[in-house]
Amino acid sequence: MRSHVKYTIPPAIALTLLYRPLLTRLDVYKILFLITIAVVSTTPWDSYLIRTRIWSYPENAVIGPKVFDIPLEELFFFVIQTYNTSILYLLLSKPTFHPVYLRRQEKNDRWKYMKLAGQLLLGLLMKKAITLIREEGAGTYMGLILAWAVPFLLLLWSLAYQFILGLPITNTLLPILLPTLYLWIVDTLALRRGTWVIESGTKLGTHLWPGLEIEEAVFFLLTNTLIVFGLVAFDNAIAILNAFSMHFPSVPALPSPMLLVKALLLPAGAYDEDRIEGLAQAVDRLEKKSRSFFLASAAFSSRLRVDLIVLYSFCRVADDLVDNAASPLEARKWIKHLRTFLDLSYKAKDPMAHDQNVGSVVRHVVTEFPRNTHTALLQLPTGRLSSKNLYDLLKGFEMDLGFQTSKGAKPSAFPIKSEYDLDIYSSRVAGTVAAMCIELVFFHYPDEVSKVQQEKILDAGNTMGIALQYTNIARDIGTDALLQRVYLPTNWLKEENLTPEQAIQVFTILDGKSTLGPEDQTFITKLERLRHRLLDRSFALYEDSRDAIDKLPSEVRGPMRVATESYMEIGRTLRQPGYRVTKGKATVGGWRRLAVAWKALQ
């Protein structure tokens, strides 16, 4: 027990404290599931090793209680090793969006040959294990280790080989090697102290390094591989359940073992390739366009995370279609097509509207939109979102057209004339998105908040979205001006003896200057006053709405805080005395983002 107190329990405590803010019910389920399998599968094998004196231990090295001749400390080791490796795996794999690693398998696909190669290798190892056991010589212990571990590895490989090979090595190799190396060191110390002894005549007599028997080294490597492969297989099953609602329309928060096996047994040829491609494109857009929300998305789980990523992808694609249009006429065309898409999705009476072959929604998207936008539109979960927010989002795009002119021309009007106009605009382009995120939360957690409370939280969500948009505008004043857009209310500018046209003109001049003169400094001083006015309004709205987050279902409070705090940290950066925006962007460093996320999850 001294070894556990000194070497295995402290890492467990440290890893628990580190991962605790991210821990979900599904994570607890995974860990308990793996621990149960580890104890049940290892106990008969370990009991046999002790009873046949493959290995033994001095009586004074254990505290006394035994189960099937196994010391309590040994049973505890099965638990603590599985726990530590599982927590490390969960921590390292948290940012990974697993559905994008699913692969459809076709005939003559290379994945099939990789699967067969792995099965052949494991089969040969099993054959070697049987040979070593039959010889009843120095390779007996090694043979018993392989004979116990290889069948489980073969099963897990056959079920989850795509994930085992396809996931980043931080999800697979790292959580195997780190605890293995640590346990090799701990075991070396234990063997030197005589805590347990491998009997001569059943071991090869080879050492990985002085004091560490090769059998012990292989045992720890295989057990950690089993734990990680088991977790990978679990995540593979969850990814299938979350990605393919056509095959699995309803998935409980804690899927039964039978449902997990059913998911893993779904043939890879039955995977929806368009669905996987759409999710991959959505994650790519999120990672490139919004580092704050990409970080926050990792804290969500299950189908809610999928829906939130898909929603962001739609909003990003729709915004880019309008924003990158060559002329106001083209931009209005895209808004018209988007409105028709919503009309067909929400108002059409045709029950086959979303059918992949004959559906009116699909036909409209395929014929009117660019190929690289199809999945973002078709995968939007309209059945889980109210139509009002999406139509209001299009109204926000129409407000942007007030700035838009033909390429190279100056805008003829500036639609943001007052704070009220800016509130309306921010509500339409950002408040609606925040409200839709909360709608998805209530869809996936329907019974945890009353209907009356849901309406209040939705209103607060809209307010929070406005706050985030104010921060966004404060950050991008210069960038927007170079695009002929001024979101600062015209009456605010007037108070500083400025006009939108002057703001655009000065920013254009400053963009080409390396040194600033006195007049430039005067302009920048006025600009910073206006920027701080935007930020004051942003933080006031933020304070008014932040308490609503605490009324959300418990599993999404932390992730929602990460989403809001990560963005508001940009505002805090802008508020720092003497801070100057570079190229229109306020950069919050990666470590600072992580620190903000960590604090938000507490």
- For the chain, the domains span 2-268, 276-601
Q: Is the pTM of this model over 0.85?
A: yes
Mean of pLDDT values over 344-355? 72
pLDDT of residue 505: 87
Quick one: what percent of the chain has pLDDT higher than 70? 91
The answer to whether residue 534 scores a pLDDT higher than 90 is yes
pLDDT at 91 over 70: yes
The mean pLDDT of 443-452, rounded to a whole number, is 90
- Tell me what pLDDT residue 66 has: 77
Mean of pLDDT values over 240-257: 94
Q: What is the pLDDT of residues 394-434, one digit of tens each?
A: 999 999 888 755 444 455 578 899 999 999 999 999 999 99
HSE-up of residue 177 (Cα within 13 Å, Cβ side): 6
Which CA distances in Å does 126 have to 133, 143, 424?
11, 9, 68
CA-based nearest residue to 304, from 431, 118, 510, 312: 312
What's the CA gap between 341 and 329, in Å, rounded?
18
What is the C-alpha to C-alpha distance for residues 331 and 325, in angstroms, rounded to an integer? 5
What are the phi and psi torsion angles at 208 (to 5°)? -70, -40
Task: State the Cα–Cα distance between residues 54 and 560, nearest whole angstrom.
Answer: 54
Give the CATH fold of the 276-601 domain. Answer: Farnesyl Diphosphate Synthase (1.10.600)
Q: Which residues contact 515 (CB under 8 A, 6 or more apart)?
A: none
Mean pLDDT of 90-111: 86
In 3-122 the beta strands, taken as DSSP E runs, fall at 55-56, 66-67, 70-71
**For residue 584, pLDDT beyond 50:** no
Count of residues making up the chain:
602
pLDDT at 427 (0 to 100):
97
* pLDDT of residue 331 exceeding 90: yes
pLDDT, tens digit, for every residue of 506-524? 888 877 666 666 777 888 8
The residue that leads in pLDDT, 299 or 261, is 261
- pLDDT category, 456, cuts 50, 70, 90? very high
The residue with greater pLDDT, 202 or 78, is 78
Q: Which of these ranges, 72-86, 137-151, 375-389, 393-407, has the smallest mean pLDDT?
A: 393-407
Q: What's the longest Cα–Cα distance across the chain?
A: 95
**Calpha distance 169→189 (Å, rounded):** 29
Which pLDDT does position 161 carry in this prediction? Answer: 94
Taking residues 200-223, what's their average pLDDT?
87
pLDDT for position 459 = 96
- Could you report the per-residue pLDDT of 137-149, keeping only the tens digit for each? 888 999 999 999 9
**Model confidence at 583: pLDDT above 70:** no
- Tokens matching residue 470: 């104010």
pLDDT value at 353 more than 50: yes
pLDDT confidence tier of residue 600, bands split at 50, 70 and 90: confident
Residue 560 and residue 442 in contact, taking contact as beta carbons nearer than 8 Å: no
Q: Lowest mean pLDDT: which of 18-32, 242-256, 565-579?
A: 565-579
In the chain, DSSP finds a helix count (H) and a strand count (E) of: 25, 6
Residue with tokens 């299950």: 302
Q: What is the pLDDT of residues 305-321, one digit of tens each?
A: 999 999 999 999 999 99
Q: Which amino acid is at 319?
A: D
For range 145-165, the mean pLDDT:
96
Q: Answer yes or no: is pLDDT of 587 > 70.
A: no
Q: What is the pLDDT of residue 334?
A: 97
Residue range 487-496: average pLDDT?
A: 94
